[in-house]
Every structure is written in C-alpha cells, then in structure tokens.
A and B are shown apart, each in its own frame.
Chain A
Amino acid sequence: MAEHLVELRNVTKSYGSVNAVENVSFYVDKAEVVGLIGDNGAGKSTLIKILSGVHAPDSGDIYIRGQKATGWNAAKSREAGIETVYQDRALVVNQTIVRNIFMGREVRNPLGFLNMRKQREEAERLMRDIGFTSKVFSPNSLVATLSGGERQGVAIARALYNDADLIVLDEPTTALSLTETQKVFSFVEAVRRKGRSIVFIDHNIYHVYDIADRFVILDRGRVVAEATKAEVGSAEALIEDMRSIARMGHVATETTGLHSPSAAG
C-alpha cells in the first residue's frame, strides 16, 4: 500500500487530567478529502493542531510522506506543505486582499521593501484559481467588503499560495449562507483537482457528507469509527450513527457502513 501523505500514529495529548486526544491514529492520502467529525470536545481541533505543529503530542508519532517527523512545529509543518485555515479565518478585514494573503509571508527584497507588483499578480492568480471569477473584485478590494464565503476564499487562497499539499479546514462553513457554502465547496473541489488533500472539520454532517471521500469520527478523544462514503450510504445514516455514538460512546452494532478503526491507519 502506498505511503500516506500524512499520518499520526497513536498520538495522545492531555491537558491536566483530561485526555483531549487519546491514542488516535489518523492518516490522509494524496488527493483525498477526509471529513473529521465529532461532537464538541471530541478532540478535532486538538488533533489538527498537532498536525499543524501548534501542539506537541505527549506520545505518538507523526509521519510525513512515510518519513517520521522529529521536532515538529508550526514552521516545519508549513515547510512540509500543510496549511491550516482556522475557524476564525485570521483575517485583517480593514486591509486589502493582497495584504491579507501575504501577511506574515510578504514578498520582499533583503532590505524589507515589498515587491508590490509580484504580490498583486500572485493575488490575482490565486483569486482566479480558487474561483473568484467575478471581475468585481480586485486584489486591492478591502476584505471587509467581501461576504463570509468570499472571505473564506481569501483565507483558502492564502493557504494555496504556499502550494500546500494538505489543507486543513476547521469549520469553514460556519455562519455561511447556502451560496457561500457552495462557494467553499467549489474551492475544495478546485483544490482536489490540483491533486491536493483536504481535512474538513464541520458540525454540519450534510456538508461533510457532500464533499468528503472518507469520514473519521472522533468521540471524547478517541477515533470511534471510520468509513468511506460508499460504506456509509447516506448523510442520514451518518447522522444516526453520530447520535448513537454520542449516546453510547461507540458504534452501534446495527449501524450500516461504519466500522471501528483498524489497527494502524
């Protein structure tokens, strides 16, 4: 079996006496969309922060393209091609799209002076790539004039600029309208067409069901189930499974499709 793009093996992270993430194994393959779902407190955010280098696991290993990662941190995660789009989007809304895309990673000469033209051109290219086909926007539009979905587009474009192989989206459709949610899905599709991978976290099972290839369900810090879309069958079935998991803490025996995690991803 080909190596995974990224893999977490038996990672555990606890805060005091609470195990936020316990013995979790999780992998993502190339050009795959994984839906990471679970209730609040299931450990999804902690897991992706371990992946993006913000948190160091107490135990367990991280493998990038088959190689074990040592001294993992946020900088290394970016260099390895993992970009995370956090729930609050991390935008500065009174600033232009260009400035938002390049904040923290400006295109500059050794003296620190910005290459304004290159930044603008790259911003235009990115906006086209992720589907900002409307001519109404220019890279110098203020992010504040964009709608929620379009802002999400800017946050995603920012991740794309660094040519990320894996983009993690944390609750990207929160507070978005139907049209905007559709726009986010278009972005996801565009990214997938480029051969990149996505981890998609969302509470809305219908959203996740639509776009994910595979589902991993966390509950109280553990992986309780995973399945491909074919195995699950329908969004309603998945919702029902989630409810029984929330009630019982594990997969119900009559559940269609879902199976408990196998031994190592």
Chain B
Amino acid sequence: MASETQAQSPAAVVSSGSIQRSPLRMFLYDNRRALSALAILIVLLALFTLANPAVFGNPVTYRSILTTLPVSIFLAVPLVFIVTGGEIDLAFPSTMGFAAWMFALAFDAGWDPFLALAAAVIIGLILGTINGVLVVYANLSSLVATLGMNFLLRGLINIGAQGYSLAIPDLRNTFFHSLFAGRAIEMIPNQIYWALLFTLLGWFLYNRHVFGSRVHCVGDNPDSSAEMGINVKRTRVMLFMFVGVGAALAGVFSVLINFVWWPTTGDGFLLPGLAGIFVGGTPSWGGVGTVVGGVLGATIVSIIETGVIAAGLTGFYTQFFYGLVIILSLIGHRFNGRRYR
C-alpha cells in the first residue's frame, strides 16, 4: 500500500491516495484507524453480550457506562492531540484531581457552580501551561517531566487534604447538575452529550483547524516545521494547556457523579486514559492519529471491566483483559501503516 510509485505511463499503478480509487475505498483507507477501533469495540461488545446477555442486553448497564465514559472522553481528546504532537503527558490524573478539588472547594465555599467550573478550568490551564513550559523551555523530556509533575501534584493534594474527602451534596439540586448530569431524555445521562460535543469540537480542531494541522507537522518533523515558519515551541506548550483543560473538565464531571471529591480523584484514569488513545489507533510516534479512534478506545477500555465481571470472571481478570486488549489492538493497528522517514 505504501510502496514507492513508479509512474511509467498514464495508466499507472494505483497508489495510496490515487484519485482513481472509489470514494468509498478512499474513505475506508483514510479512516482506517478509527474504523479499526470501531471494529474492536463491536467485537468486544459481541463477545461480552454472548457471555452474559442479561448484563449487556440490559439498558441499565449502558446508563452506567455512559455516566463514567464521558470523564474518559474529556481526557482522551486532548491526549490524542498531544501524542500526535510527539509528546506525552502523564500528569493529567493529578491535574484532574487538583482541578476537581478546586471545584469542590469553591462550591463548598458558596461559589456559583458555573464560576467554580470556570475556576477549575483555569487551574487546569495553568497546570498545563506549567507542564508545557517545563518540557519546552527547560527542555525536559515530556515523559519524565510530567511523570514527576504527576507525583508532585498528587503530593500537594495529599498534603492539603490530609486524607479527607470532600462531599458536596448540595450540588445535587442545582441547575448546574441537571444541565451537565441530568436526564434530558430518559435513561441517557446528559454527560454523554457534553462529551460528544467536546469530541466534535476536538475533531474540527484536529482536522480542520490551523492548530491541528500544525500539531501534525510538529509531531511528524519538528525541524521541517521550524524551517517552514511554524512556532514549534508555542504549538507544544498549547498541547499541554489543552490536556490541562481536558483534565479539569474530566475532574468536574467525575465529581458530578457522586458529589464527592476524593484525594485520589483522577488516579484511576492513568491507564484507561492512555491506553484508550493507543487502542483507538493513535500510534506513539506522532504526526498521525485519530480523535474518533481515541474516543472509541476510551469506550473500549471502559467496557472491559464491566464486561469481565458480567462474564462471570472475578475482578482479578480485569487487568489481564486490559493487557490483552491493549496488545492485540496494537498488533491490529500495526496493519494500518508504518512510520515513514
């Protein structure tokens, strides 16, 4: 598919991207990564439903998934961007926890919840900027710097909270809650609409906006990008800022589920957040990726735990299946193309 094209005559060999292909084939080829992720999701759903039709045939199961999945989606979309840009951010779990904490504290102190949300997003933006500046201007490896920041922030949370969780039950009766976490349509939690809106915006930003285009270029070849006048440093910092915003939104939505903030809020999302990106078809080498695939990957990861238990296996099997799905899907995505140099 990716072989060198020898144009010997006008009726030359069809190459990838040739205009002689039918529109359907072109669509399938261009979107092969996201479609592969969709295929994985469908296969898993089918397997789980076969194993336990009672659970996966029951709408209540899906309601539960649709309540927690949006949290992962707010993380997944910016993570697709940052991996496409050739970086990684491992600080998002504690950024999420920190921003959620600020939200809970603000609301608890009597702030209007919308203002508290704004505060959380600004905190996320600031934390993301700090990560970005550390990586880009202090020239640190993004893997190591954000790993360190993850611990540092979690440590700050622990020091500040002293092990106490924060309950904000008053949030239940607010307009804020019904807007973001209510049920406009019976059985479907509103969170999923907001997450889908975020995904849509993310898709446009990734595929139709200057920023997305430059993220692709920077992740592919930062030297070429700089020679062509792209501000590589600024693009990179903005990637971390975006992850910070996503993490803040994820944090607020996670608090909206049970009206409690825990000092561990966010911790459990490190694996699902990252794994979802790769399972969804965004390769680790940068320059290439899919927002839709990332969201599908997050969905895949979020149904694994439910599926494993519903199939009658104990919770001990969950990690095994996480690992299995990750490795198998990566092998599958390998057929979607290699990195060119």
Contacts and interface: CB of A to CB of B under 8 A. Distances in A.
Nearest to A124: B19
A141 B16 contact: yes
A99 B213 contact: yes
User: Which of B18, B211, B214, B288 has the largest number of chain A CB atoms within 10 A?
Assistant: B18
Interface of A: 74, 86, 88-96, 99, 102-106, 108, 112-114, 116, 134-138, 140-142, 144-147
B159 interface: no
B134 interface: no
Contacts, number: 115
A92 B19 contact: no
Contacts of A96: 17
B208 A136 contact: no
A91 B18 contact: no
Interface of B: 2-7, 10, 12-20, 30, 204, 208-211, 213-214, 216-217, 220-221, 223-225, 227-230, 287-288, 339-341
A92 B4 CA distance: 17
Given A90-B223, A142-B17, A147-B5, A99 B217 contact: yes
Contacts of B208: 113-114, 116
B18 A112 contact: no
Given A86-B227, A93-B340, A136 B16 contact: no
* Shortest Cβ-Cβ A-B pairs, 9 listed: A144-B340, A141-B17, A104-B228, A104-B229, A134-B7, A92-B220, A90-B227, A138-B19, A90-B224
Contacts of A74: 229
A138 B216 contact: no
Contact of B287 (A94, A108, A114): A94
A86 B228 CA distance: 10
Given A93-B341, A95-B287, A142 B16 contact: yes
Contacts of A106: 210, 213
B19 A135 contact: yes
A112 B208 CA distance: 9
